[in-house]
Structure 1
Amino acid sequence: MWYFYVLQSTKNPDYFYKGSTDNLQRRLRQHNQSLVTSTKPFGPFRLVYYEAYLSEHGARIREASVKKSGSVSVPLLRRIRDSLS
């Protein structure tokens, strides 16, 4: 199983990181141990959203669409923020 996921920084709650992985627990641990260069200054993180996919390709396509398109990313992050308040 592969996953598209969204992390929220506990240090800066307005910072969300979007990614994909085949192991959510391991990947969250890597982010929180500052082993991921792009998120190192923003940790620690909490997992606030994920979607499961049968293939790596499906998860990576979803990640790319969310990262590249504001029309996809903005409504998703709005729903996540609303669910956290």
Structure 2
Amino acid sequence: MAFYVYLLVSRKNGTFYTGVTNNLARRIHEHREKQADSVTRRYDVTRLFYYEVFETTEDAIRREKRLKRWPWAWKIRTIEADNPGWRDLYEELNR
């Protein structure tokens, strides 16, 4: 089983949400349908711009905690290194 750490953003350079899940497509769908966390619902944080895959839950949670502590600018640089066009990666999950 794979575990995912992901960054959702309300818009380019907007509000961030960092999460962890074992089913990325389902979890992002929940965020988009406003079924998830109130922060994502309140600030419309529904666009998937970055994610990482891990083999263990422990590694994924450790990484999530690290990313949550990062300054905003570091998160921007991380997204832009892998996704310079700020494509919403959710669409690619369902292919």
Q: TM-score range by the shorter chain?
A: 0.7 to 0.9
The TM-score, its normalising length taken from structure 2, stands at 0.72
Q: Provide Cα deviations, 1:33-59, integer angstroms capped at 9, x if missing partner.
A: 111222111226121101000011111
1:34-73 equivalences under 5 Å are 34-36=34-36, 37-43=38-44, 45-70=46-71
The TM-score, its normalising length taken from structure 1, stands at 0.79
Higher helix share: 1
The runs of 5 or more residues in structure 1 that have no matched partner are none
The Cα RMSD (Å) is 2.2
Residue 22 of structure 1 is matched in structure 2 by 22
Distance 2:13 2:75 in 1: 16
CA distance in 2, matches of 1:84, 1:18: 20
Runs of 4+ in 1 over 6 A off after TM superposition: none
Equivalent pairs: percent with the same residue?
Answer: 30
Aligned residues: 82
Structure 2 stretches of 5 or more lacking a match? 87-95
Structure 1's 44 and 17: CA in aligned 2 closer, same or farther, altered over 3 A?
Answer: closer
Residue of structure 1 in register with 2:6 after alignment: 5
Q: Which has the higher strand share?
A: 1
CA contact (8 A) 2:13 2:76 kept: no
